[in-house]
Amino acid sequence: DTAVSQTPKYLVTQMGNDKSIKCEQNLGHDTMYWYKQDSKKFLKIMFSYNNKELIINETVPNRFSPKSPDKAHLNLHINSLELGDSAVYFCASSPPGVQEQFFGPGTRLTVL
């Protein structure tokens, strides 16, 4: 299936831990994004990468670090997790020259 995929789907962890979420797209898109959707369902962009280069870096704590090993992958590493990091994190991608974005299934992160 051609799609944007994320792992894991669910992540439950303790405060202070470090965790990573992985994202892969096999659509041949150049640009990938990370979004956070909070408990009020507000969807906000965090980062975007275009062909492994960081393009958008919103006001996000530096505990969050994206990494793009190649243009098909964009991972998100979170250090020293806090309760407020609990949310659903969505990865998305878009083709070159097009602003339409296609979302992965999401990773529900719960910090206890």
Partner 1 sequence: QKEVEQNSGPLSVPEGAIASLNCTYSDRVSQSFFWYRQYSGKSPELIMSIYSNGDKEDGRFTAQLNKASQYVSLLIRDSQPSDSATYLCAVNRYNTDKLIFGTGTRLQVFP
**C-alpha atoms less than 13 angstroms from C-alpha of 96 in its C-beta half-sphere:** 4
Token reading at 59: 């006001």
Measured from the CB atom, the residue of 15 and 55 that comes closer to partner 1 is 55
Q: How far is the CB of 4 from partner 1 (least distance, A)?
A: 8
Q: How far is the CB of 1 from partner 1 (least distance, A)?
A: 14
Q: How far is the CB of 16 from partner 1 (least distance, A)?
A: 28
Binding site for partner 1 (CB under 8 A): 31, 33, 40-45, 48, 50, 55-56, 90, 94, 99-106
Exposure class string for 21-56: b at 16+ Cβ within 10 A, else e: bbbbbeeebbbbbbbbeeeeeeeebbbbbbeeeeee
Measured from the CB atom, the residue of 14 and 40 that comes closer to partner 1 is 40
